[in-house]
Amino acid sequence: MELLNILFEINTGHGLAALGAGAAAIGAGIGVGLIGKGALESMARQPESSDDLRANMILAAALVEGVALFGIIICLLVVLG
């Protein structure tokens, strides 16, 4: 926390951090939306492979979400750090 305090001690960071959190959410929204779209379409075409698809869908969503949370955590540290 202390190091990040020093790293992020910039005056203009706070408003931009809010924008950053929004941008991260937009990115994740698009990413997870595309995954959901792909998974649903595939499930509709081949309902018998639903179980496999669901596992892979969750995995891909988790990967996208990880990146988005990375961004949101940095924004949070800018604001609160």
Partner 1 sequence: MGKGAFIRDYLCVFLHRFFEPPRSMIIRHTKRLAFSALLMGASIIAFAQTDGHDGEEPHEQMSHSTHDAHDTHDAHDEFIAGEYIIHHISDANEIHFFGNVSAPLPMIIYVEGKGFDVFMSSAFSSDGDPHDVHAIKTATGPSTGTVYIKDPETGLRSEGGEAFWDISITKSVFGMLFIFSMLIFMLRAMAKSYSKNPGKAPSGLANVLEPLVLFVRDDIAVPIIGKTKSDKFLPFLLTTFFFIVASNLLGLVPFIGGFNITGTIGVTIVLAFVVFFITTVNGNKHYWGHLFWPPGVPNLVKLLVVPIEVFGMFLKPTVLMIRLTANMSAGHIIILSFVSLVFIFNQNYGGVAGIGMGVFSTLFMIFMYFLELLVAFLQAYVFTLLAAIYFADATQEPHH
Q: How many residues bind partner 1 (CB under 8 A)?
A: 36
The C-alpha atoms of residue 42 and residue 2 are separated, in whole angstroms, by: 48
Asked if 59 touches partner 1 (CB under 8 A), the answer is yes
What binding mask, one character per residue, do residues 7-26 give for partner 1 by CB under 8 A, x or -?
Answer: --x-x--x--xx--xx-xx-
Positions in 25-54 near partner 1 (CB under 8 A): 25, 28-29, 32-33, 35-36, 39, 54
**Are 80 and 16 a contacting pair, CB within 8 Å?**
no
Q: How far is CA 32 from CA 12, 27, 35, in A?
A: 31, 9, 5
